[in-house]
Amino acid sequence: MSSGPIAPQDVPVRDAATVMLVRDSLSGNGIEVFMLRRNLKSDFVGGAFVFPGGAVDDADRNADLDAVCHGRSDADASRRLGLERGGLAFWVAAIRECFEEAGVLLAYDSSGELVRFDDPEVDARFRLHRKAIDDGQRRLVEICAVEGLQLAVDAMYYFSHWITPEGAPRRYDTRFFVARAPEAQEPLHDDREVIANLWIAPAEALERHEAGDFDLIFPTMRSLVTLSRFDCCDELIEAAAATDEVPAILPRIVEDEGGGYRIVLPGDPTYDDVVPAALPEGTPMNRLGIIADPASREV
């Protein structure tokens, strides 16, 4: 028997971070983005294709991480995010989650180059590091100390800011970043939280979603719409680096006349007038309808 709607005030909002790894298409036409498919049994957006990311953990906020972050201080990171302090934790969390979920580590080695995993011995060593972090046995800062690494926070650019609507079973205050994928690292998936991975052109992902065989949640869809407008990584990274203000976007969930649930965005004519709804337990966020055409919007 299904329980009633979840009271919005009972759902805490957790800080989260995600990173869009991009590369120039191997065909020479446009860009590709790395995506993971969430476990079908997940109680939050199960089966949806997402970018690597997750909640900001307490370990991501420790002051000792400043010493292993290259080219961006907490003061600078906080200013970019509109926070008084603690902004660097979002960059660190995005790097850690990307390493845990996808096996990609955005970090510089002692030579100042992004770490490479094309040496089998190095690859095997970092697979053990990844497992230790994922199991909670070691912190990312400890791996940096052992390997002489600096996290490449200067190579990640703030892209967008989404807050999960009230009424959702879980709520996140998520900062999206974009970064060029490092060479000599082959992305993968953890076969636990995520069950598949692929490189895909943003336009193709949107077309497949429209056809019904590529499940997306709305922030991911909107991000793909924006990515699809760029012809190469240089152009995208330059635009992201030059962006000074990133507004927070808080969608609203509303119940439609047929008893279903839809998303309404700031700027929609009805946004200020709708009565936000709470989702009944078991209603997945990636099955919600969307009011208005996402492709007609700007980020």
List the pLDDT tens digit at each of the 299 positions of the chain.
Answer: 344 444 555 789 999 999 999 999 988 889 999 999 988 766 667 788 999 999 999 999 988 888 999 999 999 999 999 999 999 999 999 999 999 999 999 999 999 999 999 999 999 999 999 999 989 999 999 999 999 999 999 999 999 999 999 888 889 999 999 999 999 999 987 767 788 899 999 999 999 999 989 999 889 999 999 999 999 999 999 999 999 899 999 999 888 777 778 888 898 888 888 888 887 776 666 666 654 444 444 44
Taking the whole predicted model, whether its pTM rises above 0.75 is answered as yes
- Domain spans of the chain? 8-249
Interatomic CA distance for residues 233 and 11, integer angstroms: 38
Domain 8-249 in CATH 3.90.79.10? The answer is yes
Q: Are strands 194-200 and 248-249 parallel, antiparallel or unpaired?
A: unpaired
Query: What is the identity of the amino acid at 74?
Result: D
Interatomic CA distance for residues 198 and 9, integer angstroms: 37
The position carrying tokens 């907490």 is 74
Residue 148 · residue 115 · CB < 8 Å: no
